Amino acid sequence: MIIAVIILLAYLLGSIPSGLIVGKCFFGIDIREHGSGNLGATNSFRTLGVKAGIVVTLADILKGTAATLLPLWLSPDLDPLIAGVAAVIGHMFPVFAGFKGGKAVATSGGVLLGVQPVMFLVILLSFFISLYLTKYVSLSSMIVAVVAVTYAIILGSLPLIIVVGILAFFVIYRHRSNISRIKNKTEPKITWM
């Protein structure tokens, strides 16, 4: 019973729509009606500005990290990675925002921060290197997903490999439209780096 409660709590944590809350409370804007229409950090940067984008990114990361800590507090019988996956599903399909959420990048990163902090630092560095070279947030997010899987394979932990593989699949699958725009050269590039 307690395991089901933890998974539900993790899902609800992930469902907190940071971008929607920040946009509505501080800007009077529903970011789903602007930019890409996505609730994630990238659209928050584009629609609300850098400061708000940073707040949304940090909040989305911390949702994933907090979810991985729930088993430590409530039931050591549950692998923190499972709670983390529940939070990422909540982020993608948030009950508090009509089940239309973000693309799983920041919250997945937060899960890794909670269970493998060094891995999180490696993928964060990889993200910024890729972003500097390509200027595409979406492509950098997908590259980081591949880096994370590679890192998990090197570590050799089967549960970590499986969960990181699932998270990487989520990230890449949620970026299908971005892949098409990259191919068509219509995907927006950043200009600040």
Residue 191 lies in a domain: no
Residue 89 lies in a domain: yes
Q: Is 158 helix (H, G, I), strand (E, B) or coil?
A: helix
Q: How far apart are CA 78 and CA 70, in angstroms?
A: 9
Instruction: Using alpha carbons only, give the angle 71, 73, 79 rounded to the nearest 5 degrees.
Output: 15
Local confidence pLDDT in tens for the 193 residues of the chain? 899 999 999 999 999 999 999 999 999 999 999 988 888 899 999 899 999 999 999 999 999 999 999 999 998 889 999 999 999 999 999 999 999 999 999 999 999 999 999 999 999 999 999 999 999 999 999 999 999 999 999 999 999 999 999 999 999 999 999 999 999 999 999 887 7
Residue 90 lies in a domain: yes
Contact (CB, 8 A) for 46 and 37? no
Residue 188 lies in a domain: no
Q: What is the pTM of this model?
A: 0.95
Domain total in the chain: 1
Residue 189 lies in a domain: no
**Residue 141 lies in domain:** 2-95+103-183
Residue 140 lies in a domain: yes
Residue 21 burial by Cβ neighbours in a 10 Å radius (0-12, 13-18, 19+): middle
Residue 107 lies in a domain: yes
